[in-house]
Amino acid sequence: MPLYKELVEKYAVQYIAGGATQNTIRVAQWMHGGAGFSAYSGCIGKDEFGVQLKAAAEADGVTTYYDEVSDVPTGTCAVLVHDKERSLVANLSAAEKYSKARHFDSAPFQAVVKGAKIIYSAGFFLTHASETMVACGKQAAESGSVYAMNLSAPFLCQFFKEQMHAVLPYADFVFGNESEAAAFAEANGFGAISVEETARRIAALPKINAARPRVVIITQGSDSTVVVEGDKPAVVVPVSKMEGEKIVDTNGAGDAFVGGFLAYYAKGQSLEAAAKAGHWAAGHIIQRSGCTFDRTTRYEA
């Protein structure tokens, strides 16, 4: 915690709306452009940071449905960038206090969930609210809508394996990067296999809604993204190269990719086209500080 005080006292600090899933939804809203396209839920404190977070998300066109608590502050994350690489130091606080009974099960929010065509969550929710992710998956399976999740971090694959496997049967889409794929393969006894083979095995895991094949998307930074749909041959989507001097901050690149992907998938685009939109979104984000974007800049498919 002293790190936060030191940052504010010694450095020029920027305050940017964040959170892995919220970043994705903000980018999805920007990339899609449709009014009322997206909504976001999470837990915040009844404090100034909570007010700022709500204002920032809604300024980006996202409708917010926060679970608000008064006993702990809004979660914060110190982002330290050095030579274009980042280190994140999180104080999760209210972010770990989301209540399924108090918020998710409430009639107003159930109306939002039941009206959604796509429901998405980062894997970080597995640490404290996996039952809410399961409930989202069940709702999607019953209604025929899409449930998407993200592996999000190697430690989740390693130390929250039980929770992850409780949610995976409901996942129509699984996102991750190469390090998360490697951690998943190791934790599940797959051995030293390729990213493509890992994606294929995740796609083949048991699935509740058999009418829709699972799609697994694994990004690899500046290397090609691997997309596997059910038992079909993998689609490998190249990433456009970018000059190093253009890169400002890689924070939020993965979140932005998912936002761009889901926005264009929602538009009815192919998986390959959605991945290209995700690449463009990530490329835009890494040329700026934090997960921010130029609202006047538009992607042309």
Distances (CA, A) of 178 to 196, 236, 237, 250: 10, 14, 14, 15
pLDDT of residue 239: 96
Residue that the structure tokens 């940017």 belong to: 16
> What tens-digit pLDDT sequence spans the chain (301 residues)?
899 999 999 998 888 878 999 999 999 999 999 999 999 999 999 999 999 999 999 999 999 999 999 999 999 999 888 887 888 899 999 999 999 999 999 999 999 999 999 999 999 999 999 999 999 999 999 999 999 999 999 999 999 999 999 999 999 999 999 999 999 999 999 999 999 999 999 999 999 999 999 999 999 999 999 999 999 999 999 999 998 889 987 878 999 999 999 999 999 999 999 999 999 999 999 998 778 888 889 898 7
Sign of the C-alpha dihedral computed for residues 13, 150, 286 and 298 taken in this order: negative
What the block records as the tokens of 286 is: 């890494």
Q: How many helices (H) and strands (E) does the chain have?
A: 11, 12
49 burial via Cβ count (<10 Å: 0-12, 13-18, 19+): middle
Helix axes 20-32, 253-266, angle to 10 degrees: 40
Whole-angstrom Cα distance, residue 179 to residue 77? 22
Three-state DSSP class for residue 19: coil
pTM, whole model, 2 decimals?
0.94
Distances (CA, A) of 215 to 196, 218, 252, 256, 269: 12, 10, 22, 18, 14
Residues contacting residue 35 through CB under 8 Å, at least 6 positions apart: 61
Question: Pick from 216, 184, 213: which is nearest to 200 by CA?
Answer: 216
Whole-angstrom Cα distance, residue 136 to residue 149? 10
Distances (CA, A) of 136 to 34, 109, 194, 215: 23, 12, 30, 17
Residue that the structure tokens 């899609």 belong to: 32
Residues contacting residue 4 through CB under 8 Å, at least 6 positions apart: 76, 78, 91
**Do the Cβ atoms of 40 and 57 come closer than 8 Å?**
yes
Residue that the structure tokens 């999740």 belong to: 149
User: Phi first, then psi: what are they for 25, rounded to 5°?
Assistant: -70, -40
User: Phi first, then psi: what are they for 207, rounded to 5°?
Assistant: -140, 135
pLDDT of residue 251: 78
300, 196, 152, 38: CA torsion to nearest 10? 30
pLDDT of residue 214: 98
Residues known to be catalytic: 255
